[in-house]
């Protein structure tokens, strides 16, 4: 089979896959979460198997422990977090108005610092932002109701997700063997190399980045609550859980925290400085210690490409698309690196005469690729 035909087959397969995802996007949520949960828990099940557990018992024990932890966290924290989020939404218009009053009080200093023209533009921008925030808050309850209606199968998802995860974990090794048996024999080592790179990238996304996200949420919620910031628990959790979008969690959490701190603590500006230190200090720790340790170089996604993937898949597939965007972006990144390595080993890049002198080259994925 020629390279052209192979490319056409893979492109057709990709188009069919995207079409199927779009057609069944309304029922995919429990299967996506269940598959991610199975992938996340498979190493623990393998560890229990090494301790003489059968695959069935190991799967049951791991899932039972996870469900117990999730239910415990839900019972202990969700009512409190829900109250804080509702209180924050209700109080937000008041915070916006209080900030506008503070800006009016600071207007002489702002005029002196920026000049009359720039100060007028600054105040106009703040007022416009305030109107947008108030408009968003006014429509938020209706949006939450809509989400509730479209997500009316929450109970079904709650029941289906562990069932899907259980059966996927139970037959994980069989699925891997079945996939291996379907690989083309001539290209099997090369495809296994690609799958190994995808596995590392997915581990970085689901296990590594997921761990960073949870640590961020716990840190921000704890630090802001101990500081005594109003609705600190809700703001901290929002900051951490939005961290899967580059800079989004930091930007939203920092803006909310500074706005609340100015209204709550002013004129004690030292408390505002502490809020700034909480966010800036953690950004340094996350970027230089936490992220390299937990994620490392296993995921190499450009933030612009990641934001595009989130917007594109979110527009196409809704909430399921948001869940799939980051893993699929990681997979595409691996395939692009492999494609670049193949291109650099081809006669199109090196010229036919040069490829005769170089029998093989090592691609960026770590595999040995023969020059055509």
| pLDDT for position 372 | 36
Q: How confident is the model at residue 252 (pLDDT cuts 50, 70, 90)?
A: confident
What average pLDDT score do residues 160-189 get? Answer: 82
Domain boundary among the residues 263, 279, 294 is at: 294
* Tokens 């040069």 found at: 354
Specify the range with the lowest mean pLDDT, choosing from 83-87, 243-247, 269-273: 243-247
Please tell me whether residues 215 and 270 are part of one structural domain: yes
| pLDDT for position 371 | 36
Please tell me whether residues 278 and 351 are part of one structural domain: no
CB 290 within 8 A of CB 164: no
Please tell me whether residues 290 and 304 are part of one structural domain: no
Answer whether 0.85 is exceeded by the pTM: no
Question: Can you tell me the distance from the alpha carbon of 330 to that of 8, in angstroms, rounded to the nearest whole number?
Answer: 22
Q: Please report, rounded to a whole number, the percentage of residues in the chain having pLDDT higher than 90.
A: 1
CB 343 within 8 A of CB 371: no
Structural domain boundaries, residue 364: 300-372
Please tell me whether residues 288 and 224 are part of one structural domain: yes
Question: Can you tell me the distance from the alpha carbon of 100 to that of 235, in angstroms, rounded to the nearest whole number?
Answer: 21
Please tell me whether residues 270 and 285 are part of one structural domain: yes
Please tell me whether residues 219 and 288 are part of one structural domain: yes
Residue 288 inside a domain? The answer is yes
What average pLDDT score do residues 59-73 get? Answer: 88
| pLDDT for position 368 | 40
Domain boundary among the residues 294, 310, 329 is at: 294
Query: Is the pLDDT at 70 greater than 60, yes or no?
Result: yes
CB 307 within 8 A of CB 246: yes
Query: Is the pLDDT at 232 greater than 50, yes or no?
Result: yes
Residue 111 inside a domain? The answer is no
Residue 12 inside a domain? The answer is no
- Predicted confidence (pLDDT) per residue in 267-320, tens digit: 787 888 898 898 888 888 877 777 766 665 555 666 677 777 777 777 777 767
What average pLDDT score do residues 212-217 get? Answer: 85
Give Cα 202 distance to the centre of its chain: 12
Residue 86 inside a domain? The answer is no
What average pLDDT score do residues 19-43 get? Answer: 81
Residue 29 inside a domain? The answer is no
Q: Total structural domains in the chain? A: 2
Q: How confident is the model at residue 366 (pLDDT cuts 50, 70, 90)?
A: very low
Residue 311 inside a domain? The answer is yes
Please tell me whether residues 286 and 307 are part of one structural domain: no
Residue 305 inside a domain? The answer is yes
What are the phi and psi torsion angles at 266 (to 5°)? -60, 135
Residue 323 inside a domain? The answer is yes
| pLDDT for position 362 | 44
DSSP string, 1-68: --HHHHHHHHHHHHHHHHHHHHHTTTT-HHHHHHHHHHHHHHHHHHHHHHTT--HHHHHHHHHHHHHH
Q: Rounded mean pLDDT of the chain?
A: 75
Question: Can you tell me the distance from the alpha carbon of 304 to that of 179, in angstroms, rounded to the nearest whole number?
Answer: 33
Question: Can you tell me the distance from the alpha carbon of 55 to that of 59, in angstroms, rounded to the nearest whole number?
Answer: 6
Question: Can you tell me the distance from the alpha carbon of 372 to that of 361, in angstroms, rounded to the nearest whole number?
Answer: 11
Q: Please report, rounded to a whole number, the percentage of residues in the chain having pLDDT higher than 70.
A: 73
List all residues 6 or more positions away from 83 whose beta carbon is below 8 Å from its beta carbon.
none
Q: Tell which wins on pLDDT, 190 or 119.
A: 190
- Predicted confidence (pLDDT) per residue in 117-172, tens digit: 666 776 677 667 666 655 655 555 555 544 444 444 566 677 888 888 888 888 88
């Amino acid at each position: 089979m020629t390279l052209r035909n192979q490319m056409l087959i893979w492109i057709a397969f990709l188009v069919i896959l995207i079409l199927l995802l779009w057609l069944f996007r309304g029922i995919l949520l429990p299967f996506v979460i269940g598959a991610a949960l199975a992938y996340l828990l498979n190493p623990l099940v393998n560890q229990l198997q090494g301790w003489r557990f059968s695959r069935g018992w190991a799967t049951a024990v791991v899932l039972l422990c996870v469900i117990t932890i999730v239910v415990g966290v839900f019972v202990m924290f969700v009512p409190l977090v829900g109250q804080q989020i509702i209180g924050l939404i209700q109080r937000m218009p008041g915070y916006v108005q209080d900030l506008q009053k503070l800006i009016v009080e600071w207007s002489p200093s702002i005029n002196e610092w920026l000049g009359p023209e720039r100060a007028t533009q600054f105040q106009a921008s703040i007022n416009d932002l305030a109107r947008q925030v108030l408009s968003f808050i006014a429509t938020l309850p209706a949006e939450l109701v809509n989400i509730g209606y479209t997500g009316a199968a929450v109970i079904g998802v709650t029941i289906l997700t562990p069932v899907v995860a259980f059966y996927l974990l139970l037959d994980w090794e069989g699925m891997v063997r079945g996939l291996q048996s379907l690989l083309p024999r001539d290209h099997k080592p090369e495809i296994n190399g690609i799958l190994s790179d995808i596995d590392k990238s997915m581990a970085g996304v689901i296990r590594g980045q997921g761990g960073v996200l949870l640590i961020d949420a716990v840190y921000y919620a704890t630090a802001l609550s101990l500081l005594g910031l109003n609705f600190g628990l809700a703001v901290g959790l929002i900051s951490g859980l939005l961290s899967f979008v580059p800079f989004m969690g930091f930007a939203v959490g920092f803006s909310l925290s500074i706005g609340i701190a100015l209204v709550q603590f002013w004129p004690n500006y030292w408390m505002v400085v502490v809020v700034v230190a909480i966010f800036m200090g953690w950004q340094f720790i996350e970027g230089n210690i936490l992220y390299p340790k937990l994620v490392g170089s296993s995921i190499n996604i450009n933030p612009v490409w990641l934001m595009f993937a989130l917007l594109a898949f979110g527009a196409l597939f809704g909430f399921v698309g948001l869940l799939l965007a980051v893993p699929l972006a990681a997979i595409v990144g691996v395939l692009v690196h492999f494609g670049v390595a193949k291109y650099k080993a081809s006669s199109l890049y090196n010229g036919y005469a040069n490829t005769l002198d170089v029998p093989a080259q090592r691609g960026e994925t770590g595999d040995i690729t023969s020059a055509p």
